C-alpha cells in the first residue's frame, strides 16, 4: 500500500518500459526499502519535473536519454524561474540533479539500461553557507518569556520551547514525543524515528523537565480531555500539534520579544549547538545531540561559534595595546631599571 497520495505522474503509465511506469516502479521500490515518506514524496516531485521536460521533447523511454540531454536539462534547471520570478537556489538545483542521478543508477541496477547517462553529469559546486546568526542567551529567555502562563496553550508553548532549547530537537521530533519517551531518572528522552528514521537518546535539562511536569499537571488534561493520545504536546482538540502551527507561535513570540531574526523553531536548535560550543562542548557530542549522521554537518556550527576566537583576538591582537581616542593612558607599571620602554608607544588611534 502506498504511504502517500498525490496526483498521477505525467505521461502514459501503460508502457512498462516507459519513463512514467519506470518512475512509478522506482518510487515504489523506495517505499518498500523503508525510505521516509517525505523523501519519497520530494523525489516524486523533483523527478516529475524531469519527466514532464522529457515528454515535451517526445522522449518517452530511458534509452532515449543521453548525457548531452541531461546537460541540457541542467541548463533548464539553472535558468528556470519560479512564480515569484526568482531562480531556484543552488541547493534546489543540486537536489533535482542528484535525484536524477540516483534514479538512473537504479535503472542500471535493475538492468533496464546498460549504461548510466547520468554517471558523468557534473553537479553544481556546493556553497559553504553558514547558518544565520543564532539566538543569544538573553534573546532566548526573552522569547520564552512571551508565553502566557495563565492559559493551557501558553503553558504548553513554554514547555515545548523549553524542550527545543534544552535538547536541540527538530520541531517534528519534539511534537512526536510520547510519555514513555521521557526518562526522568536518567534525564534523557528517546527520539523515535528522527531524520533518516533513526532513533537516538538525548539528554534533557532539569528546567525543561520541570516545565514539562507543570504542563502535564496543569494544562494537558484541559487540552486532551476529548481525545486519548500518548503524545506529550497536543492541540486544543487533544490531537497532535501541527508543525506549522508551532512555527507560527514561535514567530509571534520572536516579534513580541523584539528579536528580528528570520526563522522559527530551528533557531532554538541553532542556539543550542552554538551556545554549547561556545561553552567548550566537543563538536562530536553536539553531533550526537543533534542526530547528524556526518560530522561535517555539525562542524559548520564551529564557524558560527566564534566566542573563543573573539577571546583570543582581544587578548593577542597588537591593536589592543593602543588606547582609543580620548581614553586615559594605562596605569604606569614599574618594571625595574632594565625595562624596555621603547617597544610600544601609547598613542591615540587615528
Q: Annotated catalytic, 301?
A: yes
What does the pLDDT average to over 312-321? 79
What does the pLDDT average to over 65-94? 92
6-10 own/partner pairs: CB under 8 Å, 24+ apart:
6/41, 6/44, 9/44, 9/48, 9/51, 10/48, 10/51, 10/52, 10/55
* pLDDT beyond 70 at 13: yes
pLDDT digits (tens, 9 = 90+) for 223-255: 887 668 889 999 888 888 899 999 999 999 999
Q: Annotated catalytic, 269?
A: yes
Q: Annotated catalytic, 266?
A: yes
Residue 309 is predicted with a pLDDT of 73
Residue 91 is predicted with a pLDDT of 84
CATH of domain 19-109: 1.10.150
Catalytically annotated residue among 43, 158, 269, 270: 269
Q: Looking at per-residue confidence, does 228 or 17 come out higher? A: 17
H/E stretch holding 267 reads: helix 265-278
Residue 144 is predicted with a pLDDT of 96
Highest mean pLDDT among 3-7, 186-190, 261-265: 186-190
Catalytically annotated residue among 49, 261, 266, 323: 266
CA trace torsion 294, 296, 298, 303 (10° rounding) = 180
Out of 3.40.50.450, 3.60.10.10, 3.40.91.10, 1.10.443.10, select the CATH number for domain 137-307. 1.10.443.10
Q: Annotated catalytic, 125?
A: no
What does the pLDDT average to over 123-136? 74
* Domain extents in the chain: 19-109, 137-307
Catalytically annotated residue among 44, 170, 220, 270: 170
pLDDT-derived band of residue 1, with 50, 70 and 90 as boundaries?
very low
DSSP SS3 for 240:
strand
19-109 and 137-307: identical CATH topology = no
Catalytically annotated residue among 63, 95, 102, 195: 195
Q: Residues near 291 by Cβ (< 8 Å), separated by ≥ 6?
A: 173, 191, 194, 195, 198, 200, 202
- Record the cell numbers describing residue 139, joined without a space: 534573546
pLDDT-derived band of residue 101, with 50, 70 and 90 as boundaries?
very high
| Distance (Å, whole) CA 187 – CA 29 | 40
What does the pLDDT average to over 303-322? 75
Mean pLDDT of the chain: 85
Where does 69-193 show beta strands of DSSP type E?
A: 182-183, 188-191
pLDDT-derived band of residue 299, with 50, 70 and 90 as boundaries?
confident
Amino acid at each position: 500500500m502506498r504511504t502517500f497520495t498525490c496526483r498521477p505522474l505525467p505521461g502514459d503509465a501503460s508502457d512498462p518500459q516507459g519513463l512514467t511506469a519506470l518512475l512509478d516502479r522506482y518510487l515504489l521500490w523506495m517505499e518498500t526499502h523503508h525510505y521516509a515518506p517525505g523523501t519519497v514524496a520530494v523525489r516524486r516531485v523533483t523527478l516529475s519535473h524531469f519527466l514532464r521536460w522529457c515528454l515535451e521533447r517526445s522522449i518517452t523511454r530511458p534509452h532515449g536519454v543521453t548525457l548531452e540531454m541531461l546537460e541540457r536539462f541542467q541548463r533548464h534547471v539553472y535558468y528556470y524561474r519560479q512564480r515569484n520570478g526568482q531562480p531556484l537556489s543552488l541547493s534546489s538545483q543540486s537536489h533535482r540533479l542528484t535525484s536524477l542521478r540516483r534514479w538512473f543508477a537504479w535503472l542500471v541496477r535493475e538492468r533496464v539500461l546498460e549504461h548510466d547517462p547520468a554517471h558523468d553529469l557534473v553537479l553544481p559546486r556546493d556553497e559553504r553557507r553558514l547558518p544565520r546568526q543564532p539566538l543569544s542567551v538573553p534573546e532566548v529567555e526573552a522569547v520564552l518569556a512571551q508565553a502566557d502562563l495563565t492559559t493551557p496553550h501558553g503553558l504548553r508553548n513554554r514547555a515545548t520551547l523549553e524542550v527545543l532549547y534544552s535538547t536541540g530537537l527538530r520541531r517534528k521530533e519534539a511534537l512526536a514525543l510520547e510519555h514513555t519517551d521521557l526518562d526522568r531518572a536518567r534525564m534523557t528522552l528517546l527520539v523515535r524515528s528522527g531524520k533518516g528514521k533513526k532513533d537516538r537518546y538525548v539528554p534533557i535539562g532539569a528546567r525543561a523537565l520541570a516545565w514539562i511536569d507543570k504542563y502535564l499537571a496543569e494544562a494537558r488534561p484541559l487540552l486532551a480531555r476529548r481525545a486519548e493520545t500518548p503524545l506529550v504536546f497536543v492541540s486544543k482538540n487533544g490531537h497532535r500539534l501541527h508543525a506549522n502551527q508551532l512555527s507560527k507561535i514561535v514567530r509571534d513570540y520572536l516579534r513580541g520579544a523584539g528579536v528580528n531574526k528570520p526563522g522559527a523553531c530551528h533557531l532554538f536548535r541553532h542556539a543550542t549547538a552554538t551556545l554549547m560550543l561556545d561553552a567548550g562542548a566537543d563538536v562530536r557530542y553536539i553531533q550526537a545531540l543533534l542526530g547528524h549522521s556526518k560530522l561535517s554537518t555539525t562542524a559548520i556550527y564551529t564557524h558560527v561559534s566564534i566566542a573563543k576566537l573573539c577571546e583570543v583576538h582581544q587578548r593577542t591582537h597588537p591593536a589592543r595595546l593602543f588606547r582609543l581616542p580620548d581614553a586615559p593612558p594605562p596605569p604606569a607599571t614599574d618594571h625595574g631599571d632594565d625595562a624596555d620602554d621603547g617597544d610600544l608607544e601609547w598613542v591615540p588611534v587615528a
